[in-house]
Structure 1
């Protein structure tokens, strides 16, 4: 069996934005992860973007919007050749001198408000594509024509000054104009008038990100996928496969599949926001649910394991492949294995 694990945020990067030491890291009990890393060696650099790294592990080339949209229950699945954007409702507000982005999770948007937002944005964006809300927190724009621009992922921009994450590319002016049209429509909307009366923050911007064309389904063989996220399940669908939740990893490891692709996303945000405590908590949770089963299967069977740890902000991009026969190696301290320059 060939197992590919894509785990953005597995390694803590050293950079001006993140600390070079994690208090208590060497005293944390992560024996299975330490065992796996001790028997691994670096083979190169992986994708910087987690969505791209995961889609290419499935022999796809898709943006984050197509992956997430394909995983949405009850929503239209992106078709090959279509260009999609995530278009998530956010709030922009001043924090000191900076305009800061607050994601939808902090806005308490109701289902009725999401329906109102969908009707408003369908009319506003009709000349650029087809807009729909899959949930109160997640919107999509199926573009009429492909965009020649780079958008910052929402996870990067949330809680940070907007000026650092403006779109860049040939169509930059066009998309700044579109963003302006969206802001005017939202500012004048009855939706935000009602929210203001209720003391709730305004929905005053859509955050566009995750652009990319939807690829053709991958050629066989199609790996089995293990993932808990919409993106993981969507990638499996686009690849012509299917996904199991992480809770059923044991079933996947004993399925007889030749290839298995695993996506783990809960480590990424703590690293991007330099939240050491949340990162350690996520590692401890994954020790029993992920790393221990992988260690057991490597001990018992002829399994090849590759670990990709993409990270966009302030750190290395790593690919690590397991070496089955390096069983003599003793694990180094976790501070040496998990903190990378």
Structure 2
């Protein structure tokens, strides 16, 4: 039985190698070939899709509602953008603490805008909004929100004449949302307004989704959705490592505290490796760096601890 941890980029875990017991663990590990950097690339390594891609909208829609069918779907999640002196930046997407009644009210004036194009928009949950598109729709490449947060949005919107109407559609949606009473109330109460949408995850349901693990533990609905479409057990992340009998994909991408990572996950897994309860542990970082831990590595006394990130 082996386990795989999905971790943030090493730069976000500065100080990890100073935690007692972790420096030796990392120094004695085997390096695996470096893969593509970025959260979406990291997730795509965990699932095998045919055809290749990452059609998040169709997959999450199917799990959430069950009506994805053979059409194209696009996520148009509620977002917040803010202008500074030089740019307009994406500050939040999806998880904005929207209530269902707020989501319904915000969608009401957007429905005619999208409906006139023949693209119905709906929101089965406040965090995830969907646009239904014809089966033969040609979608430009949209940037996933994890990669877009904090960035200048105009640099990330698709270029070219084919994408022009998407830019125009986004601008019209922003005007509607900016003037909406729900946002006025959210601003008065100190909550972030939903003043934009973020398009991403377009595509159709894959013919096949496969995962090499028996269970996926994650607080990310999207990753759990792919797992369920792959007929893999999926559950929310526990507070710490819990010994089990199944090979697991453990999603720790949101974790930022090196001591918590060490004490709740790495050191308990080290004990499981040495006890023979786990055969191997792979550490997959969002910057593409990967390490393999095994129980026999504890005898590599000649390996010295290195600075982190290496």
TM-score by length of 1: 0.72
Distance of 2:42 and 2:223 partners within structure 1: 12
Unaligned runs of 5+ in 2: none
Q: Cα distance, 1:195 vs. partner?
A: 5.8
Q: Are residues 1:289 and 2:264 paired?
A: yes
Q: Cα distance, 1:103 vs. partner?
A: 1.9
Distance of 2:36 and 2:86 partners within structure 1: 34
Distance of 1:108 and 1:159 partners within structure 2: 19
Q: Cα distance, 1:206 vs. partner?
A: 0.6
Q: Are residues 1:156 and 2:147 paired?
A: yes
User: Aligned in 2, Cα 1:339/1:81: closer, same or farther, shift over 3 Å?
Assistant: farther
CA RMSD, Structure 1 to Structure 2 (Å): 3.7
Q: Is the 8 A contact 1:148 1:169 kept in 2?
A: no
Distance of 2:211 and 2:87 partners within structure 1: 49
Q: Are residues 1:245 and 2:233 paired?
A: no
Q: Cα distance, 1:285 vs. partner?
A: 1.4
| Matched position secondary structure for 1:181 | helix
Q: Are residues 1:129 and 2:119 paired?
A: yes
Q: Are residues 1:88 and 2:87 paired?
A: no
Q: Is the 8 A contact 2:39 2:147 kept in 1?
A: no
Q: How does 1:194-273 map to 2 (within 5 A)?
A: 202-218=193-209, 223-247=214-238, 251=242, 253-255=243-245, 257=246, 259-267=247-255
Distance of 2:39 and 2:159 partners within structure 1: 20
Structure 1, residues 100-151: CA drift from partner, whole Å, max 9, x if none?
A: 3332589664432211122333332233534222444432334335544222
Task: Say which is worse superposed, 161-170 or 226-235, in terms of deviation.
Answer: 161-170
TM-score by length of 2: 0.78
Distance of 1:288 and 1:197 partners within structure 2: 41
User: Aligned in 2, Cα 1:110/1:225: closer, same or farther, shift over 3 Å?
Assistant: closer
**Residue of structure 1 equivalent to 2:5:** 5
| Matched position secondary structure for 1:233 | helix
Instruction: Give the number of equivalent residue pairs.
Output: 304
| Matched position secondary structure for 1:266 | coil
**Residue of structure 2 equivalent to 1:100:** 89
User: Aligned in 2, Cα 1:26/1:209: closer, same or farther, shift over 3 Å?
Assistant: closer
Q: Is the 8 A contact 2:99 2:126 kept in 1?
A: yes
Structure 1, residues 233-278: CA drift from partner, whole Å, max 9, x if none?
A: 2122111111233327755x422x3x322222214xxxxxxxxxxx
Q: Are residues 1:178 and 2:169 paired?
A: yes
Q: Is the 8 A contact 2:58 2:204 kept in 1?
A: no
Structure 1, residues 23-66: CA drift from partner, whole Å, max 9, x if none?
A: xx2784252x4344223222212243434433442434552734
Q: Are residues 1:320 and 2:310 paired?
A: no
Distance of 1:221 and 1:95 partners within structure 2: 44
Q: Is the 8 A contact 1:51 1:64 kept in 2?
A: no
Q: Are residues 1:42 and 2:31 paired?
A: yes
User: Aligned in 2, Cα 1:68/1:295: closer, same or farther, shift over 3 Å?
Assistant: farther
Q: Cα distance, 1:217 vs. partner?
A: 4.5
User: Aligned in 2, Cα 1:178/1:303: closer, same or farther, shift over 3 Å?
Assistant: same
